[in-house]
Amino acid sequence: MPPDVPPTGIPVPPLLIGHRGAPGHRPEHTASSYRLAFAMGADAVEPDVVATADGVLVIRHENEISGTTDVVDHPEFADRRTTKRIDGERLTGWFTEDFTWAELATLRCRERLPALRPGSAEFDDSEPILRLTDLLALVGEASAEHGRELGVVLEIKHATFFAGIGHDLAALVERDLRAAGWASGEHPLWIESFEETVLTRLRGRGVRGRSVYLLEATGAPADLVARDGAEASSYADALTPEGLDRLAGDVDGISVDKAILLRDGGAELVQAAHARGLDVFTWTCRPENAFLDRRFRRGARKAAFGDYRAEWEAIAATGVDGVFVDHPDLGAAVLRR
């Protein structure tokens, strides 16, 4: 760990996490996006992982990739377009699990929000998809370049869905972490998911990293819905005193939608979690009006920057331990004061 990290594992001020790299400046989950995040001061970056047909873990926000790659321009893959139900949502497009890694390697990445971030979209079609192993190697290189040990906040996506088609994401994540020397506490590692069961399985496999349970403002986790149906516990249930009591024995922290912290009682929630030994992260701090709480929007243009500084300062004032940002440069300017 870096010298400014206390025994809890959280730097002071909050851990600055480059959300998918620096997607305010470069297409998300690209090598240049991650490198830029570290150059701008991020302490860690957040890759999302999904699986290919041949069991390779690739870094994409979702397994549906039509919005973040040039797959639509590849006529050889036109017949792969299909409709699936992923965690209860009906989606049509192209999905990583229907491609081998060799096929996905022919694609190039694109900006997911070109209307809001045209500057990032200027870098479309210039970089390939990364594997988890590629990202871990990049973080090692960046640590040496910047003279400080940098971390990874690894998000596992759609574990229950992938298990249903024969891919054990816990086993695949363990495989890649061990191969890269990241499974035994060698480097700063947090592992997060909206499904607690995959975090439990990874811990049972001996992977050492701080486990973080992601919590939406509404709804219920896919793993519990698959198991319990309409009786499944909701994300809101996990934020009650009883829910936090249970989580304190199972995970090391929670990561909540920033809307939860910005409403009345946000600071009290952080305090309650801390009292139980849980770290608290929040997602995602973005400066554009389209993503800001209504109180902090300025003007009518969705792409225009609102009073993001005031919003982020309000979030930091809750005592949160880690903040996900799309613009690490702006995050550093606000949160490192």
Q: Quick one: 161 exposed, middle or buried, by C-beta within 10 A (0-12, 13-18, 19+)?
A: buried
pLDDT by residue for the chain (337 residues), tens digit each?
333 444 444 446 799 999 999 999 999 999 999 999 999 999 999 999 999 999 999 999 999 999 999 999 999 999 999 999 999 999 999 999 999 999 999 999 999 999 999 999 999 999 999 999 999 999 999 999 999 999 999 999 999 999 999 999 999 999 999 999 999 999 999 999 999 999 999 999 999 999 999 999 999 999 999 999 999 999 999 999 999 999 998 999 999 999 999 999 999 999 999 999 999 999 999 999 999 999 999 999 999 999 999 999 999 999 999 999 999 999 999 998 6
Write the DSSP assignment of 219-244 as a string of letters. Answer: S--HHHHHHHGGGPPPHHHHTSHHHH
At 149, list the tokens. Answer: 């040990």
Domains parsed from the chain with CATH numbers: 15-64+130-335 (3.20.20.190)
Alpha-helical segments (H) within 11-130: 31-39, 101-104, 118-121
Helix (H, G, I), strand (E, B) or coil at 168: coil
At 220, list the tokens. Answer: 């219920």
Read off the amino acid at residue 211.
S
End-to-end CA distance of the chain: 22
125: left (phi over 0), alpha (psi -120 to 50) or beta: left
Contacts of 244 (CB under 8 A, 6+ apart): 238, 254, 272, 273, 276, 278
Q: Which of 33, 16, 32 is nearest to 24 (CA)?
A: 33
- pTM of structure: 0.95
